[in-house]
Amino acid sequence: MKRKLALVIAALLLCAFVFGASAEGKKLKFGYLVNDMSHEWYQNIAKGAKARADELGIELKISDAAMDVAKQISQAENMITDGVDVLIITPIDVKALANVMAEAKEAGIPVVSESNVIPGAETYVGIDNLTGGKRAGYWFAEYAKLHNIDPKILIVGLPAFEDCRLRVEGFKAAMDEVGLKYEVMQEVDGAGSKETSLKVAQDALTANPEVNVIFGINDNSTSGGMAAYKEGGLDESKLTAIGFGFEGVVGRELLLGNTAYKAAVAMFPDYMGVSIIDAAYKVANGETLPANYESGTVVITNDNFAEFYTKNGDEYATNFDAIRALMDK
């Protein structure tokens, strides 16, 4: 009897020990497959994701496929074999991931996608380009009224990409919505690079020297347009330039440098990193997410810059709480 009791107690203790240890050690493990880490944008996403994972006590593994589709697939398979709790993917080619999605499903691993919708994924985390464009449009409509601007707009776009077309569409839609009178003088294709934007904007400004607003689909496009304006000898004090992205030093220097660059739709790549981890965390805890989990965009101006960024030596840190508060509104 005594021996039996001792055995039961020993068994109970063993169980408690095993379960306790497993509960203690059951740290969530996420895998993130990046498409291309040579891009500053994705470096910042990874940085934000790491910080958020540390905060939540999640183990985060990051693999960079460097734009190699086959590599991304084998990395995905490695992560699945490794038994991650949630797989986060920035796809290089969505169509190439069908098998990976099937394997993940079989292994019971939910998938969260970033920047592109993957069929079968739990949710897609990304900024809403149309909404972002609209935010710029609303901001500008107010600014134009306040400063009595008769807007003659040059758009430096990248029409080959839907995301970029949506930004322009949203920008115009918001101005239409609030009844701002404006004229789009020309839409050029700056290929997203400063070099091409400068070239094409220069010709467009020659054809339309009355342009007084430049809207670019990223910071390079806007700054290329501004450089063309300056080279063309036009009066920069009459220009209002609006950027999109605000992801690096280019936009920040322009905004803080008292130039024609008055506002930008900030996409906060590091906050995107926070968002993918938040979304994956919710998925891991059994929450059902909307098809599109929106990471925030904010119109940054000289006035509200300090709200969202804190200077830390030469670096600027993003205030996640400020964005979160704004998104919750």
Residue closer to another protein (CB basis): 141 or 226 = 226
Query: Looking at beta carbons only, is 39 or 152 nearer to another protein?
Result: 39
Element (H, E) at 15: helix 2-25
* Tokens describing residue 282: 């919710």
**Helical H segments across 156-242, by residue range:** 162-177, 194-207, 219-231
Q: For residue 294, which phi and psi values (nearest 5 degrees)?
A: -80, 130
Among 78, 202, 259, 304, binds another protein (CB under 8 A): 202
**DSSP secondary structure string, 270-295?**
HHHHHHHHHHHHHHHTT----SEEEP
Question: CB atoms < 10 A from the CB of 92, how many?
Answer: 21
Chosen residue from 150, 176, 195, 210 binding another protein by CB under 8 A:
195
CB 287 within 8 A of CB 255: no
Per-residue mark of binding to another protein, 144-173 (x: CB under 8 A): ---------------xx-------------
What is the chain's length? 329
State the nearest-atom distance from the C-beta of 204 to another protein, in Å: 6
Q: Does 45 bind another protein (CB under 8 A)?
A: no
Note every long-range contact of 141-147, with CB atoms under 8 Å and residues 24 or more positions apart, other chains counting.
141/174, 141/175, 141/178, 141/180, 143/240, 143/262, 143/263, 144/180, 144/182, 144/240, 145/180, 147/240
Residue 82 or 253: which CB sits closer to another protein?
Answer: 253
From candidates 29, 39, 71, 165, binder to another protein by CB under 8 A:
39
CB nearer to another protein: pick between 29 and 199: 199
The answer to whether 189 contacts another protein (rule: CB under 8 A) is yes
Contact predicate 157/168, CB 8 Å? yes
Position among 232, 294, 301, 304 found at the interface with another protein (CB under 8 A): 232
Beta-bridge partner residues of 34? 64
Q: Which of 22, 26, 38, 329 binds another protein (CB under 8 A)?
A: 38
List 204, 213, 277, 283, residue binding another protein (CB under 8 A): 204
Residues of span 238-257 touching another protein by CB under 8 A:
248-250, 253
Q: Which helix (H) or strand (E) holds 59?
A: strand 59-64
48 binding another protein? (CB under 8 A): no
Which is nearer to another protein, 174 or 204 (by Cβ)? 204
From 96, 227, 289, 326, residue interacting with another protein (rule: CB under 8 A): 227
Instruction: Give yes or no for residue 120 binding another protein (CB under 8 A).
Output: no
Verify binding: residue 233, another protein, rule CB under 8 A. yes
43 part of the interface to another protein, by CB under 8 A: yes
How many residues bind another protein (CB under 8 A)? The answer is: 32
At its nearest, how many Å lie between another protein and the CB of residue 35? 13
Three-state secondary structure of 69-94 = HHHHHHHHHHHHHHCCCEEEECCCCH
- Binding another protein (rule: CB under 8 A), the pick from 110, 126, 132, 224 is 224
189 in helix, strand or coil? strand
Asked if residue 186 binds another protein (CB under 8 A), the reply is yes
DSSP three-state, residue 238: helix
Q: Which residues bind another protein (CB under 8 A)?
A: 38-40, 43, 159-160, 186, 188-189, 191, 193-195, 198-200, 202-204, 206-207, 220, 224, 227, 230-233, 248-250, 253
